[in-house]
């Protein structure tokens, strides 16, 4: 009995060790990212050139990580119905932002960047980078460690959430992490999870204040997207 207990404990230790090793890629990529950004800001100040540099670095990281993955669906097939995933992203963004504005919880960014730069960096490239790093690559590693889908969703969502800088970003990152981890485990489709994330971020760029009609629209879009998902089953 004592021997079986030791074997059980040793198995847990091995799993924990492998979990930490699976984080190596995230720690290295994010570490380099933050280091370059911090040094650049200290030397040059925060401006659009820093953002462009970060964008190109993220593109390089995306290409590098995806090139190492052999089993991943990145092909855009017009037969796939991507519309519900777009609606899901828009609805989550609307509901979340309206709640923040309603209770005066929104944390404004005082960095003045051209709108197109903001859309490209935080609305398109940023989401793709985060999905590749925290979902596609990380979940691929976690699936080699454990067969528990619930554990994979929890771990990947938790790591993604704590990589964000403030409480409200952590909240939305947790929600997105759970949703996109589930979608990716179930569908193994990179395009779908990227679309959810992209439409969350882009929609946020067009929301500036609380509006009850927009909130109702967001709830309606969420219901429509959920009905679309249910109809597929």
Q: Mind listing the pLDDT tens digit of every residue in the chain (233 residues)? A: 444 433 444 445 566 777 777 888 898 888 888 888 788 777 777 666 677 778 888 888 888 787 776 655 555 565 678 999 999 999 999 999 999 999 988 766 655 677 888 899 899 999 999 999 999 999 999 998 888 999 999 999 999 999 988 888 999 999 999 999 999 999 889 999 999 999 999 999 999 899 999 999 999 999 999 999 887 65
pLDDT of residue 49: 65
How high is the pLDDT of residue 5? 39
Residue 43: per-residue pLDDT:
77
**pLDDT tens readout for residues 60-107:** 888 878 777 665 555 556 567 899 999 999 999 999 999 999 998 876
Distance CA 206, CA 200 (A): 11
Dihedral of CA atoms 143, 24, 167, 47 in degrees, nearest 10, equals: -130
Closest among 76, 110, 77, 93 to 197, alpha carbons compared: 93
Per 3-state DSSP, the chain is made up of helix, strand and coil in percentages (nearest 5) of 80, 0, 20
pLDDT value of residue 84: 94
């Amino acid at each position: 009995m004592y021997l079986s207990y030791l074997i059980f404990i040793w198995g847990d230790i091995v799993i924990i060790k492998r979990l930490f090793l699976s984080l190596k890629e995230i720690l290295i990529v994010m570490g380099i990212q933050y280091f370059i950004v911090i040094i650049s800001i200290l030397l040059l100040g925060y401006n659009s050139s820093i953002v462009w540099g970060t964008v190109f670095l993220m593109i390089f990281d995306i290409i590098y990580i995806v090139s190492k993955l052999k089993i991943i669906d990145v092909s855009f097939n017009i037969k796939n119905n991507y519309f519900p995933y777009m609606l899901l992203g828009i609805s989550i963004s609307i509901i979340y932002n309206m709640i923040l504005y309603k209770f005066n919880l929104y944390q404004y960014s005082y960095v003045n960047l051209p709108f197109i730069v903001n859309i490209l960096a935080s609305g398109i490239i940023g989401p793709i980078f985060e999905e590749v790093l925290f979902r596609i690559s990380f979940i691929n590693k976690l699936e080699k460690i454990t067969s528990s889908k619930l554990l994979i969703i929890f771990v990947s969502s938790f790591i993604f959430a704590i990589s964000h800088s403030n409480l409200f970003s952590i909240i939305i990152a947790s929600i997105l992490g759970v949703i996109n981890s589930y979608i990716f485990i179930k569908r193994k489709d990179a395009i779908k999870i990227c679309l959810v994330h992209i439409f969350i971020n882009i929609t946020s760029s067009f929301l500036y204040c609380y509006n009850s009609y927009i909130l109702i629209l967001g709830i309606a879009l969420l219901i429509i997207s959920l009905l679309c998902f249910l109809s597929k089953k």
